[in-house]
Structure 1
Amino acid sequence: MKVERQKDEIVVRFSAGKNASKIQSILDYLRYEELTSKSKATQKDLDLLLKETKRGRFDKIIIEMGLDEKDYR
């Protein structure tokens, strides 16, 4: 592993190997941290978004299957 600091970035180099999936998991987490670091969303905001998303997906499935949505609410 090689770590280099370049201006306002840190560059990390790994030799190719069998642990690529573990490295990718760590990189995914770091990317998540980078993307959410300035977020002002609260847990309540996230819960509401998740609820709306699930409802929209559920409604779409009911329509696609041709089911009567009254039976599922």
Structure 2
Amino acid sequence: MIVERQNNEIIVRFSAGTKASKIQSILDYLRYEELTAKSIATEKELDALLKVAKKGRLNRIRKETGLDG
């Protein structure tokens, strides 16, 4: 693995033999950290948002499968 800093970026290089799925999991976590680094949302607010998102998802699935009425 090689780590380089260029301008305002960090570049990481892996050998071709490294499992892509493991690298993707790490990249997903780093992206999450990048996106939430400046968040001021509380855990309570995030739980409420998640509840709304899940409810909307269930309603969409019911509609798509014809189970809504």
TM range (shorter): 0.7 to 0.9
- CA distance in 1 between counterparts of 2:9 and 2:61 reads 44
Q: Deviations over 1:5-29 (max 9, x none)?
A: 1122111111112411111111111
Q: Which residue does the alignment assign to 1:4?
A: 4
Quote how far apart the aligned CAs of 1:33 are: 0.4
Residue ranges of structure 2 left out of the alignment (5+ in a row): none
- CA distance in 1 between counterparts of 2:56 and 2:63 reads 11
Identity %: 66
Q: 1:5 to 1:56 in 2, by over 3 A?
A: same
Q: Which residue does the alignment assign to 2:19?
A: 19
CA RMSD of aligned residues (A): 1.7
